[in-house]
Amino acid sequence: MNIGVFGDSYAEKTDLPDKIWWGILQETYGHNVTVYGESASSIMFSFNSIKEHAAKYDLIIWCLTQPGRVSFQFDDRYYHFNRASNFDHAPQFVSRKFKAFTTWWDNLVNWDDEAIIGQALVKYLQQQVPNLIIIPCFDSPLQTNFNLYQLYLNETEHYFPGVPIEKVIQKYSDHRKGHLTPTSQRILAGLINSDLSPGIFQTNYSNFVTPDEVFDTIFTKNK
């Protein structure tokens, strides 16, 4: 099957495709996969990208990110920011402008409204792109039972029991492609491949297992 993959860092491009779910769909299950995902990208960024490219593919898989992210184009490339973004990698004058912008954004944007807009964009694309599978990355905007961030939290709690996630993020680099261990990525790919029907992808957290021996070694070594 010819599959287009869209979304944020849970659908990121990587030079180690055997370590992330979309690469496993290609290498293990024989699908032809093209990836448009970009780390920290916004709902609107993926929405526009899907509209542009959807007709090329038998199936579209969208890792739906959280509301409140901002994507903008500058010098023929896109920059993506969320509320916790570091601006150091952006061009200097763009950085200054967007620091001011996100200060306004954080204080004046109604986050409930942003969630409603996200839900509306999802419903619109489901109507326009009938071959669309949506994998929720976060609780918002769809409030589904399963999302990839909670799976990430479950894994992180295993490696750093009792440590607030903010402290883990500040202190440790996330070595996991797409924020999940290779074991979870393989399980996720298998679950996706077992049912390629359009709709909202849902499963049970109990289908995933921890620990992962490779990452037990990495994180224990770095503690």
Query: Is the pLDDT confidence value at 138 over 90?
Result: yes
Percentage of the chain lying above the pLDDT 70 cut: 85
| 3-state secondary structure (DSSP) of residue 74 | strand
Peptide bond into 141 cis (omega under 30): yes
Q: What is the DSSP letter of 21?
A: H
Other CB atoms closer than 10 Å to residue 119's CB: what's the count? 16
Which conformational region is residue 39 in: left (phi greater than 0), alpha (psi within -120 to 50 degrees), or beta? beta
Task: Let me know how many helices (H) and strands (E) the chain has, helices first.
Answer: 8, 7
Residue 127: HSE in the Cβ half-sphere, 13 Å Cα cutoff = 6
Give the percent of the chain with pLDDT over 90: 57
Rounded to the nearest angstrom, the gap between the alpha carbon of residue 207 and the centroid of all alpha carbons in its chain is: 19
Angle at 138 between CA 49 and CA 54, to 5 degrees: 20
Domain at 2-68+113-222: CATH code: 3.40.50
40: pLDDT strictly greater than 70: yes
H or E stretch at 3 = strand 2-7
* Tens digit of each residue's pLDDT (9 = 90 or more) over 208-223: 987 677 776 766 655 5
80 has which bridge partners? 71
> What pTM, to 2 d.p., does this model score?
0.87
Q: Residue 92: pLDDT band by 50, 70, 90 thresholds? A: low
Residue 152 has pLDDT above 80, yes or no: yes
Residue 41: the pLDDT is 92
Question: What average pLDDT does the segment 181-197 reach?
Answer: 95
- pLDDT value at residue 79: 72
DSSP secondary structure letter of residue 14 = -
Q: List the chain domain ranges.
A: 2-68+113-222
pLDDT at 30: 97
- What is the reported pLDDT for 212? 74
Between 68 and 135, the more confident residue is 135
